Chain A
Amino acid sequence: MTTVEHAVPLTAQTRSERVIRFITRTPIHIALIGIAVIWLVPTVGLALTSFRQPNNIASSGWWHSLTQWDWTLHNYGSVIHATGMGHAWVNSVIITVPATLLPLTLGALAAFGFAWVPFPFRDTLFLIIVALMIVPIQTSLVPLLKLFAQHGHLNNHYYGIWLAHTAFGLPLAVFLLRNFFITLPKDLIEAARIDGASNFAIFRRIVVPLSVPALASFGIFQFLWVWNDLLMALIFVSDPSKQPMTVRIPYLISTYGQEYNLLAAAAFLLMFLPLIVFFALQRYFVQGLLAGSVKS
């Protein structure tokens, strides 16, 4: 038996050892801080540009604003009112909320079936869903647009984009939630069944309350996916007055290509909601993205 007194602490360092350690580690600090700064500069540049006076933007780089102190909210006023970005922001919300909740609900129901209720061809159907997770959107664009246009012009309303996002979010939802649901304690579910609880009651009262982290992870991933999507909205939202920000900003670029004050303010408006989610729910956010990695 060794005693504590005899053990030499591994962390004991003389002064010179610490100096050497610091010097040998300097390259690591330089590399890490250097890359972090390079990674921050583009976003900081956009944020500062969005708060600068338009005439200053044309005459000096955004980095001068740190000493010029010329902040204004004017750009946001212009971009929200004059270019209709406020309206487009609302459209983004109208598109994103149902397009997140629908696949979450349908996905959770299906995942419960796959996890806890046996039925014919269950494994085969589940494998098909695994394969569907990475089907490229491009194979659906034309047939879906045709389908929507023929049946009540769904592409002129939000229904088309809601349905399309639901279909594309579902495989991942079913996959993730099923994999989480099967880890729930079997005894608990069996006990409820013996007490006579229906399947739906088990789903609502046991599975859903115990699976909040998984539901949150998928919810955040899907929210980000839909909010940030450009291609699907470009195709499935034909009415310009219903288009989300991701689709309206490219128009802004082609119309006001050199007016960086407007472009920067618009881009920042698009970014701030996901960034708030990121900083508020960082843990779920990272989990959601990691879980979503099987999709892309």
Chain B
Amino acid sequence: MRPWSALERVQGLLFVLPALVVLAVFLIYPAYYTIRLAFYEGDFHFGFFHYLGVDNFKQLLTNDKDFLDLSKFPPSGALINNLRWVIFYIGLSLLIGLGLAVLAVRVRYERVVKTAIFVPMAIAATAVGVIWLLVYSPDPNVGVLNALLQGLDSGFHPISWLGRPNLVNYALIFAYVWASVGFVMVVLSAAIKGIPAEVMEAARVDGAGEWNIFRRIMLPMLSLPLSVVTIWLFINVIKVFDIIYVMTGGGPGTSSRVIAFTMYEETFQNGRPGYGAAVAVIMLILIAPVMVLNVRRFRSERVVA
């Protein structure tokens, strides 16, 4: 094989250069700018106006009831809502997705079921929002959920699912679970089909019950795909915005705000770019461990799922 000439090495750089320039100008430089802006009040033109040090962060974490309020029980604020999302969105998606993946391989109409569950993945969050505004409508002549409950119990009073501060977050979370479960199911289902049939057969011959096969063989073999899916769900939680913007606008009041929504609201609606930048930096900090994990996994395995 002929060695690479100096000219060809320069050519290699030319192939990657357009991409590197775009990334530097539109991704890396902006990140630096936002981190710096987080230490300023900022002005109308997003300039570095009035240095504040860490005041924005202090304010967010200790003195902003819409962001983090630990003074009462249960605690509230956007950050707490994201925690709710972490627990219930990730938990439900994994539970339903895993259940579907395990059960669907056992029936002949597997493809039909999977398609039905997967289709919402193609639907824009904006449309998902409209779909679930209809489902949740407090008018039982429109909302299928209230109509159903009324059908089961004629004394039932229709509930405004998105109008109650104690329900709204769970209503939003379920709508987003609906949109995400297909992905969890497809990834796990592919992994289950990758488990050698002999392993399962051997366990069955040895008299292991279905539950034990699931717990002691399937689950351990699914640990890698499960971690991939969990990370994907976690990133979704940190970034969730569209569906809340469309369905509730963060309301009623501020009860369904999340971090990404607060960033948008403070920066573009309340005209506080420095404060909004601090929220963006908090998002970056929450995602940073995943970035480190991705890089590490790539370096060690040279493959990333």
Footprint of B on A, CB under 8 Å? Answer: 25, 28-29, 31-33, 35-36, 39-43, 45-46, 49, 57-63, 106-107, 109-110, 112-114, 117-120, 122, 125, 127, 129-147, 163-164, 166-168, 170-171, 174-175, 179, 190, 193-194, 199-200, 203, 224, 227-231, 234-235, 245-246, 249-250, 253, 260, 263-264, 266-268, 270-271, 274-275, 277-278, 282, 285-286, 289-290, 293-296
Contacts and interface: CB of A to CB of B under 8 A. Distances in A.
A167 B29 CA distance: 12
B126 A113 contact: no
B236 A296 contact: yes
Given A230-B126, A289-B121, A142 B9 contact: no
A57 B142 contact: yes
Contacts of A264: 130, 134
A253 B244 CA distance: 13
Nearest to A194: B2
B202 interface: no
B63 interface: no
Contacts of B113: 32-33, 35-36
A136 B283 contact: yes
B117 A36 contact: yes
A142 B276 contact: yes
Contacts, number: 310
A117 B267 CA distance: 43
Contact of A119 (B12, B22, B96, B287): B12
Interface stretch (B66-74, B75-83, B294-302): B294-302
Contact of B284 (A133, A139, A266): A139
A35 B185 CA distance: 13
B130 A167 contact: no
A296 B235 contact: yes
B267 A278 contact: no
Given A168-B27, A289-B121, A138 B299 contact: no
B100 interface: yes
Interface of B: 1-2, 4, 8-16, 18-20, 22-23, 25-31, 33-35, 37, 45-46, 96, 99-100, 103-104, 106-107, 112-113, 115-127, 129-135, 137, 140-144, 147, 178, 181, 183, 186-187, 190, 228-229, 232, 235-236, 238-239, 241-242, 245-246, 260, 263-264, 267-268, 273, 276-277, 279-281, 283-284, 287, 290-292, 294-295, 298-299, 303-305
Given A45-B134, A270-B124, A286-B186, A167 B144 contact: no
A134 B299 CA distance: 17
A245 B246 CA distance: 12
B141 A61 contact: yes
Contacts of B299: 127
Contacts of B235: 134, 295-296
B126 A112 contact: no
A117 B74 CA distance: 57
A36 B112 contact: yes
A262 to B, nearest CB: 10
A278 B133 contact: no
Given A31-B99, A119-B9, A130 B304 contact: yes
Nearest to A141: B267
Pick the most buried of A28, A36, A174, A285: most chain B CB atoms within 10 A of its CB: A36
B126 A134 contact: no
A267 B267 CA distance: 28
23 contacts: A31-B103, A32-B100, A32-B103, A33-B113, A35-B113, A42-B132, A131-B292, A134-B235, A135-B291, A140-B34, A144-B30, A230-B242, A234-B264, A249-B130, A250-B126, A253-B133, A263-B134, A264-B134, A268-B127, A293-B183, A293-B187, A293-B228, A293-B232
Nearest to A107: B19
Contacts of B46: 142-143, 145-146
Pick the most buried of B100, B131, B187, B239: most chain A CB atoms within 10 A of its CB: B131
B29 A294 contact: no
Contact of B126 (A62, A139, A270): A270
A270 B260 contact: no
Contacts of B123: 43, 228, 271, 274-275
Nearest to A49: B134
Contacts of B11: 117, 199-200
A286 B111 CA distance: 13
